[in-house]
Structure 1
């Protein structure tokens, strides 16, 4: 019996330490800012930093480099702060994991560490939290909000070189659709869309890219008699990106995309590459959001 206890004691102590650390983290978080969130099944109250960690767990691969995870943690917290400043009765509804769910998946250690080491830090431009946009993979450079959103309200969302993204496994994708499928998908948003002719080519289908931004993303495209934004066309056809070219033939239209996501703000793949190259999370954020500064949330609000 004594031998059994001696053998098991180290494991029992390890479990107790782990459990105590978890309880300490929860207690520490519970003493912080409490916010109301929309879970999809109703609303509940949760500590601000718990929610930050929970959203982070949903938005980025927990196996990412620690500095890339920290950068994403700041982005999550910044977007929450921006939402609360912009809207008095703001109730965030981002999907998130509880600490218990993270533990079940074996990802709590790295996620909680990223949230804890950046606690209360947000990105500001001037004296206000920014709209911290992010995406998975850029086309090779991020986008100017002045072009993509036709707004000068986001001077920190500018074209930034992210040429390392071209090495990503999901950088290039090819989607093939028939002309009928394209029309059908577009008509879910534009039921009055009219096509004069049918055929197996983009020309006969009357698909024409009208404009692109400086990062090569499609800004506007014409399908039949209807002109729509490139991002909307992308969503209607469920394309990985609005940076695309088209090839027609053999009864189908092939759409070749570059990148994954809308292309604004931080590229998560680019952030990972910078982190692996030795960049800190603050350097990553400074690169993707020029002109912004890191501040403590408590100092700002």
Structure 2
């Protein structure tokens, strides 16, 4: 990016579209403050309710305090600062998006809180104690200050599309190209388009293999669909990939006399992605996967690769989320 866009355009969003937040469209850096997240921005920071799956209680946290622990849980602390900034903005946007949808009533799965601490349902959040137990004190001392810096330097910044917070999906590794949202989930979102993700070579989960015995494969398929018919004596001819999505994941695969989605097979055999190939030997079936996760939105390892190439967090976000605007919550002005 050759320069910084100094002019911030203030716009009011109607109560119908954004019942809680007023945003400023802004493409300028938030000044970096040199202290802990909570101490530095408490005056402007809003509070949110977070359901803790460990304690089964609802926590009231400052937004940026919550975002710090999400970034620490969701992305390796060793990643480049610009990648961590991109993750901070994505995590903050997700929290605001959920808050905007569910408000004070909270999500039906955890009433009273719009977000929770589980990565399977919302975003992963770990307390300082949990981070220390998982990584050790040395990790906390070495990486937590950098994570706090990534949050402070983007404080209040979220992504919007048509003046509304986006649903900022992200995943570990795409395998070289991300997916269109409608090819994995129900909705076609204009900012979640398939884009290249070429800098993932260092991801330890770029390629993975899982071996399943022929017997276990057939039993699993029958548990999925009891009417399936598979010739175990010629299993290689019983498996045919019919179609792939734009990002490379399998759209449809025929097994025996039935057709399944790649996502169904991924879930059934606990594969790392739906972008896989199938090889049949005498006694086993080997799934070779590319990438890790659903493949929609920002690839975290791709983001780190872009940061290593000198890209800023803004360039990273605008690559993975097409047509978005970086906006700033007005309480941070």
TM-score above 0.5: yes
Q: Structure 1, unaligned stretches of length 5 or more? A: 1-19
Q: Specify the alignment match of 2:232 in structure 1.
A: 198
Of the candidates 60, 66, 91, which is equivalent to residue 75 of structure 2?
60
Of the candidates 98, 113, 116, which is equivalent to residue 127 of structure 2?
98
Give the C-alpha shift of residue 100 in structure 1: 5.7
Deviations 1:244-283 (A, max 9, x none): 1111112111111111221111111111111111111001
TM-score by length of 2: 0.75
Of the candidates 37, 59, 70, which is equivalent to residue 44 of structure 1?
59
Give the C-alpha shift of residue 216 in structure 1: 1.7
- SS of the residue aligned with 1:87? helix
Of the candidates 260, 278, 282, which is equivalent to residue 228 of structure 1?
260
CA–CA distance in structure 1, aligned partners of residues 97 and 190 of structure 2: 15
TM-score by length of 1: 0.83
Corresponding residue pairs, total: 275
Q: Which has the larger radius of gyration?
A: 1
Of the candidates 85, 89, 93, which is equivalent to residue 78 of structure 1?
93
- SS of the residue aligned with 2:199? helix
Of the candidates 156, 163, 168, which is equivalent to residue 132 of structure 1?
168
CA contact (8 A) 1:172 1:259 kept: yes
Any residues of structure 2 matched to 1:253-268 within 5 Å, and which?
A: 253-268=285-300
CA contact (8 A) 2:38 2:62 kept: no
Structure 1 vs Structure 2 CA RMSD: 2.4
Q: Structure 2, unaligned stretches of length 5 or more? A: 1-33, 107-112, 118-123
Give the C-alpha shift of residue 38 in structure 1: 1.0
- SS of the residue aligned with 1:159? coil
- SS of the residue aligned with 1:175? strand
Matched, 1:292 2:331: no
